[in-house]
Amino acid sequence: EAQVTQNPRYLITVTGKKLTVTCSQNMNHEYMSWYRQDPGLGLRQIYYSMNVEVTDKGDVPEGYKVSRKEKRNFPLILESPSPNQTSLYFCASSLYAGANYEQYFGPGTRLTVT
Amino acid sequence: KNEVEQSPQNLTAQEGEFITINCSYSVGISALHWLQQHPGGGIVSLFMLSSGKKKHGRLIATINIQEKHSSLHITASHPRDSAVYICAVTNFGNEKLTFGTGTRLTIIP
């Protein structure tokens, strides 16, 4: 089944404790991106990747890192999480670079930083 | 930066009613997406369109490029249509999506 998977689905952590949220897609998509969703603000892009080893900042990249060493995986790293990073996070992918192709979203990761 | 506005923010209707959700944007785009987010949180792409109209089952999406406006219609609404509907646009020359804040639809049996 074609899908985007994220792990973990739920995470409660403390300020400053490094964490990684994994994202994987099995559709051989080139384009992958990370979003955060906050009440009243909608979805905002954190980072995106056009292809392997090609990543770029989105609208809200501060406090996050990403890497794209393999086409299928696009992990999101929070080196020193803070409470303002408490949010619902979505990974998404599409066939080619750019957002003019159908977006496939992962199930979401609800992160709470205390 | 493109501003994407959706209306209404919240909509409650009776089962069977015809539903319209609107989306307007401020700057020319290359494509517009309609997404559906169910209470569990998962997001599904419903439509992607750059002109005219698309139909899938009871859902119809239209776009007017000149007026910078799109509508999502649901015919014969059903409680399972209850969800948040999100409009997103792809800006010209930009690989990023800009999202509206969503319309929460509740269909009462």
User: Is the CB of B99 less than 8 angstroms away from the CB of A108?
Assistant: no
Instruction: Determine contact, residues A99/A53, Cβ cutoff 8 Å.
Output: no
Instruction: Determine contact, residues B106/B19, Cβ cutoff 8 Å.
Output: no
Instruction: Look at strands B69-74 and B59-64 and give their pairing.
Output: antiparallel
Cβ-in-10-Å burial (0-12, 13-18, 19+) of A85 comes to: buried
* pLDDT higher than threshold 80 for residue A63: yes
CB-nearest partner of B33 from A31, A103, A110: A103
Q: What pLDDT tens digit does each residue of chain B (109 aa) get?
A: 778 999 999 999 999 999 999 999 998 888 999 999 998 778 999 999 989 999 999 999 999 999 999 999 999 999 999 999 999 998 777 667 889 999 999 999 9
3-state helix, strand, coil in chain B (%, to 5): 5, 60, 35
Interface test with A, best of B29, B30, B33, B43 (most A CBs within 10 A): B43
CB-nearest partner of A108 from B42, B86, B88: B42
Instruction: Look at strands B52-56 and B59-64 and give their pairing.
Output: antiparallel
Residue A61 structure tokens: 């990249």
Instruction: Determine contact, residues B74/B83, Cβ cutoff 8 Å.
Output: no
Of chain A, the percentage scoring pLDDT greater than 90 comes to 85
Integer CA distances (angstroms), B20 to A36, B49, B57, in order: 27, 17, 15
> How close, in Å, is residue B16 to chain A by CA atoms?
28
* B92 interfacial to chain A (CB closer than 8 Å): no
**pLDDT (0 to 100) of residue B11:** 98
Q: Residue holding tokens 């959706």?
A: B6
What is the three-class DSSP state of A47?
A: strand
**pLDDT (0 to 100) of residue A98:** 61
**pLDDT (0 to 100) of residue B83:** 97
**Amino acid making up residue A29:** H
CB-nearest partner of A99 from B97, B101, B102: B97
User: Is the CB of B42 less than 8 angstroms away from the CB of A107?
Assistant: yes
Instruction: Look at strands B83-91 and B97-99 and give their pairing.
Output: antiparallel
> How close, in Å, is residue B32 to chain A by CA atoms?
8
Alpha-helix residue ranges (DSSP H) falling in chain B: none
| Interatomic CA distance for residues B101 and A21, integer angstroms | 24
Annotate A69-106 with three-state secondary structure. Answer: CCCCECCEEECCCCHHHCEEEEEEEECCCCCCCCCEEC
CB atoms within 10 A of CB A7: 14
